[in-house]
Structure 1
Amino acid sequence: METLRERKKRRTRQALLRAALELFTTQGYEHTTVDEIAEAVDVSQRTFFRYFAGKEEAAFAVQEMTEARFVAAVRARPPHEAPMEALRQAVLEGWDAIRETVESAVPVELYLRMYRTIGSTPSLLAAHLRRSAATEETIARLLAEREGVDVDADPRPRLAVAVFGGVIRVTERQWSTGEDFSLEAIRALTASYLDQVGSALTGNWGDARGC
């Protein structure tokens, strides 16, 4: 059971996180200081650093939670599923859990706005790509373990994750520049794009143009 001290620490962290994302999305990541974040919650700069190593950690805190949830979902998929199917089902069937994870920290609307801020801020976009590469390596190793292969000798785990990760990045880019900026929209777009992977890789695109 959560103690009063633990509850107070959790609330302080959530308040700092929400204040940080609000400032990042309204006045810009580069123009926001740690002092401004701390001041918005009426705490000291020292208190901020008690919860976050810096602005970047705060910027990606909720995303880190959703990534951890996805990795856990992949690990929990039935062993008989093919690797790409396991990845697909983990992201689509885990959508409600991902929403709950976000809502436990900040409003979903704020999380979605932060997505756009990451995409339009060079330093955050670079960090996002770096973090994505690390997550993809974790998943590749998980798939290799699940399939009983050596990830360093068999290229298939990394190839599967590279394809999957590419689809997710294309989906995010299309969704973040579209008009329907909701979780339901990105879920539908993700499902649609994943369904097209097979034909995109092995199909004859000329036939599609002639239809």
Structure 2
Amino acid sequence: MQTKTVEPNEWQPEGLRERKRRDTLQRITQVGLDLFLAAGYEATTLDDIAAAAGISRRTFFHYFKSKDEILLAWQMGMGDAVRDAVLEASTDQSPLEALCGALRKLASYFDTDTAIGIAQVLRSSDQLRAANQAKYTHIEHSAFESLCRLWPGRSRRGPLRMAAMAGVGAFRVAIDEWIDEGGKGALTKRIEKAFDDLRAALHGG
């Protein structure tokens, strides 16, 4: 009896609960996005989302306070993805090149129809446009912090912050132009061109 291991059995239920919560959160987010794209953001109700996700309205409020927060959850996920992609970059290049490569890598996974649809939703009201601005602020912060981890040192933080600001700005220009033209061409190429334009501007070209 004394050799019985009890700790893993005590930890497992908590791990299962956390996993279930994460899965439910992801399911609600995806269902919400799908409904926004299919029916429109304003026309989609909380009851619609809860029913499609197979949960009660009460359960919905355990995860989100409003449908706005579903978009926010998706947007925050973008920042996390940028951070992870930058941290995988090699330091045998400039920080700006590392950021460009990370953003191009992420863009290669984008589904065109979904990306354009969500962008149109985010442009549909002043409130959502403000949320879209917050998304890029979060991406910029994530990029900056990850660059600082790759190139540590207080003296580098200023230049790295400028690289993050300029790089995410180029990324935003590329996405806006790509969406305005209906997703014509590869987004990765748009990003590459935007960074080329940024380098030319920085060097007075």
TM-score range, shorter chain: 0.7 to 0.9
Matching residue of 2:3: none
* Aligned amino acid, residue 136 of structure 1: E
> 2:58 matched to 1:46?
yes
Q: CA separation in 1, counterparts of 2:101 and 2:27? A: 33
Give the length in aligned residue pairs. Answer: 192
Q: Which moved more, 1:122-131 or 1:34-43?
A: 34-43
Deviations 1:98-124 (A, max 9, x none): x2xx7xxxx763344112211333212
Please state how far the C-alpha of 1:4 moved relative to its aligned partner. 9.0
- Match for residue 141 of structure 1 among 139, 145, 150: 145
Which of 131, 156, 161 in structure 1 is aligned with 2:159? Answer: 156
* Alignment partner, residue 198 of structure 1: 199
Go from structure 1 to structure 2 and tell me whether the alpha carbon gap of 1:70 and 1:141 turns closer, same or farther (over 3 Å shift).
closer
1:73 alignment counterpart = 85
Q: Is the 8 A contact 2:33 2:71 kept in 1?
A: yes
Distance 1:109 1:6 in 2: 32
Q: Is the 8 A contact 1:77 1:90 kept in 2?
A: yes
Mark the CA change 1:62 to 1:154 in structure 2 (over 3 Å): closer, same or farther.
closer
Which of 130, 143, 146 is residue 134 of structure 2 equivalent to?
A: 130
Secondary structure of the 1:179 match is coil
- RMSD over aligned Cα atoms: 3.1
- The within-5 A match list for 1:169-180 is 169-180=172-183
Larger Rg, first or second structure (1 or 2): 2
Corresponding residue for 2:9?
none
Unmatched 5+ stretches in structure 1:
205-211
Aligned counterparts of 1:173 and 1:142: Cα–Cα separation in 2: 24
Looking at structure 1, the residues matched to 146 and 83 of structure 2 have their Cα atoms a distance apart, in angstroms, of: 9
Kindly indicate whether the alpha-carbon contact (under 8 Å) linking 2:36 and 2:121 is maintained by their aligned counterparts in 1. yes
Q: Give the Cα separation in 1 of the matches to 2:169 and 2:107.
A: 19
Other-structure match for 1:209: none
Cα displacement (A) at 1:179? 3.1
* Aligned 1:6-85 pairs, distance under 5 A: 12-85=24-97
Identify which of 160, 168, 173 aligns with 2:171. 168
C-alpha displacement of 1:20: 1.4
Distance in 2, matches of 1:84 and 1:7, equals 36
Q: What is the CA distance between 1:86 and its match in structure 2?
A: 0.8
TM-score norm. by structure 2 comes to 0.75
